[in-house]
């Protein structure tokens, strides 16, 4: 199985800040890397697929980069609805695996 490790596990920031979350795969997942945001009590929602492609309808303050084993999610100008938990997930090979999550909290 490909293990996905996110850092940091938690992060404090303020509205308007820029934040970056990192995801590392235990082996190459090419660009088969996706990012999700999960608000409390809700299902995850897809933000970025294929490492850097913004999902339709997702605000442009979200961006992704990377390939192989190292990936990043960047959120510029944080909005109140962005304080949530973020997950990376590889879809390169089954079993599809998720990172442990990064909880973004208001400072």
> Which residue from 64, 86, 87, 104 is in contact with another protein, where contact means CB under 8 A?
87
The b/e string for 10-31 (b: 16+ C-beta within 10 A; e otherwise) is: ebebeeeeebebbbbbeeebeb
Q: Assess 95 for contact with another protein (CB under 8 A).
A: yes
> Counting contacts by CB under 8 A, is residue 26 touching another protein?
no
- Nearer to another protein by Cβ, of 11 and 17: the residue is 11
Q: For another protein, which residue of 52, 72, 76, 91 counts as binding (CB under 8 A)?
A: 91
DSSP for 88-102 reads EEE-SSSSPEE---E
CB 5 → another protein: shortest distance, Å?
12
Whose tokens are 């979350």? That residue is: 21
- Establish whether the linkage from the previous residue to 64 is cis, with ω within 30° of 0: no
What are the φ and ψ backbone dihedral angles of 42, each rounded to 5 degrees? -120, 165
Stretch that binds another protein, among 17-25, 63-71, 72-80, 83-91 (CB under 8 A): 83-91
Q: Report the residue number, 20 or 55, with the smaller CB distance to another protein.
A: 55
């Amino acid at each position: 199985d490909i293990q996905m490790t996110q850092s940091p596990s938690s992060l404090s920031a303020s509205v308007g800040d820029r934040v970056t979350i990192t995801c590392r795969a235990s082996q190459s997942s090419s660009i088969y890397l996706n990012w999700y945001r999960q608000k409390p009590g809700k299902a995850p929602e897809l933000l970025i697929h294929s490492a850097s492609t913004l999902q339709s309808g997702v605000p442009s303050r979200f961006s992704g980069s990377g390939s192989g084993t190292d990936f990043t999610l960047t959120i510029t100008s944080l909005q109140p609805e962005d304080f949530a938990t973020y997950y990376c997930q590889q879809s390169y090979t089954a079993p599809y695996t998720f990172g442990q999550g990064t909880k973004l909290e208001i400072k």
